Structure 1
Amino acid sequence: MKKNMLTFVFAVGTLIFSTQLSAQENPLSVGFKAGTGLSNYRLGGDMKSLKSKMSFGGSAGVFIKYDLSPNFAVQSGIDVYYNTSKLESLTDKSSDKLKSFGVEIPLYGIVQGELGSGKAFIGAGPYAGYGISTKLDGVNLYKKNNGTGTTMNRFDYGVGGIVGYDFDKNWQINASYKFGLADLHKGKGGSMKNQGASIGIAYKF
């Protein structure tokens, strides 16, 4: 009886292990992604006299995903973005468009599961960014202008989330949101923090 029980347990364990192994046969995937979205800045302190209105932008990049199990994965990559936001004065209603160009590296922990003929997923994690150019009325705010110091910090960081659906082994749709924690404004008494939402598509290899 004990021998039969041990044989049964061993057979079940072997079956589970082989199922997990086949599911994880190719746990690593890479791909390209592109999207469009809206972004603006959360303003505080002395900058509350301005309002940052959301405007359209876009991004493109590559990503790498590693399935730790059928239901959990980690994903990272690099995105090149172009964001715009309209800064409007609350006193005289004058406005200028802020145009930003840079790169971001997100890192998501992802929970995923079968849904219909594909796979749904949701994830969250930190991101870090580096601004290459941010211009207001043609002036690059990362550089010294007319003998004055720089106005904005290049380095950004924060947290973000992503949700999406894999239609098959290759195509995916997703939506993401980022919430910046770094104060990008160098001036004293004011604060300027990034935020944005986007939708996109991806192709995995």
Structure 2
Amino acid sequence: MKRKLLSIAAALCFIAGAKAQTSYGIKAGLNFSKLNISQGNLSASSDASTNFYVTGYADLHLANNFSVQPGVSLQGKGGKVVGEDAKLNLMYIEVPVNLVYSIYTGEVGNIFLGAGPYAGFGVSAKAKSGNITESGSFSDAGLKTFDAGANFLAGFKFANGFLINGGYSLGLTNFSKYPDETGNFKNRVFSVGVGFQF
């Protein structure tokens, strides 16, 4: 599964890059992330925890108002339970590939809308319960390192390259190693941020 997703992303980038006008951008901002936990017919979400993201990407112009944006991103995810003072912070390196449609608004800039898949690899996990904090690998926390899902994004890019954006990331893979004991874990992330496209 991991190899298939990365192969598809690499092929899209190669095909688009062969014909495309290319520009580059960087985005950063806040993630408001939750964990969706399900077992059998039961499902619940954690409270949202606040984290950050930083993304570098290429914008490969395809035709008319369409472009494809492959990138590399550092994403903070996780969730918390307020009443129990418990929090789980997860750090991922992700490879998103988004198809973006731009709606030009004259000399001011353009509105953009996009969606696409992502593949992520967990690099660190940090759990806090009361005054006790533990850090380690995903494996130490009983979690799978691989995550994949879909991104949805929208924003406004000004004519000078500055942009404001928001997005939603829908995790589609269960990353719990022990779903029979803990249930299935999936990431849910709403994000806001700013950036610049060169």
Matched, 1:193 2:183: no
Shift of 1:37: 2.2
| Corresponding position of 1:82 | 76
Matched, 1:69 2:69: no
| Corresponding position of 1:203 | 196
Secondary structure in 2 aligned to 1:75? strand
CA contact (8 A) 1:111 1:123 kept: yes
| Corresponding position of 2:11 | none
| Corresponding position of 1:178 | 169
CA contact (8 A) 1:40 1:84 kept: yes
Q: TM-score, normalised by structure 1?
A: 0.76
Runs of 4+ displaced beyond 6 Å: none
Matched, 1:130 2:130: no
Residue-pair matches, total: 170
Which letter does structure 2 place at the counterpart of 1:120?
Answer: I
Matches of 1:164 and 1:122 in 2, distance apart? 7
Which of the residues 76, 88, 99 maps onto 1:98? Answer: 88
Q: Unmatched 5+ residue regions in structure 1?
A: 1-25, 145-149
Which letter does structure 2 place at the counterpart of 1:196?
Answer: V
Matches of 1:196 and 1:86 in 2, distance apart? 13
Q: Rg bigger for which structure?
A: 1
Q: Unmatched 5+ residue regions in structure 2?
A: 1-19, 129-133
| Corresponding position of 2:15 | none
Cα 1:132/1:141, change in 2 over 3 Å? closer
Shift of 1:101: 1.4
CA contact (8 A) 1:87 1:98 kept: no
Matches of 2:44 and 2:190 in 1, distance apart? 21
Which letter does structure 2 place at the counterpart of 1:104?
Answer: E
After superposition, the C-alpha distances for 1:110-154 in whole angstroms (9 at most, x for unaligned) are 11121242111101110111110112131436234xxxxx51011
Which letter does structure 1 place at the counterpart of 2:119?
Answer: A
Secondary structure in 2 aligned to 1:83? strand
Which letter does structure 1 place at the counterpart of 2:89?
Answer: K
Q: TM-score, normalised by structure 2?
A: 0.78
Secondary structure in 1 aligned to 2:46? strand
CA contact (8 A) 1:106 1:127 kept: yes
**Aligned-pair identity (%):** 29
Cα 1:152/1:125, change in 2 over 3 Å? same
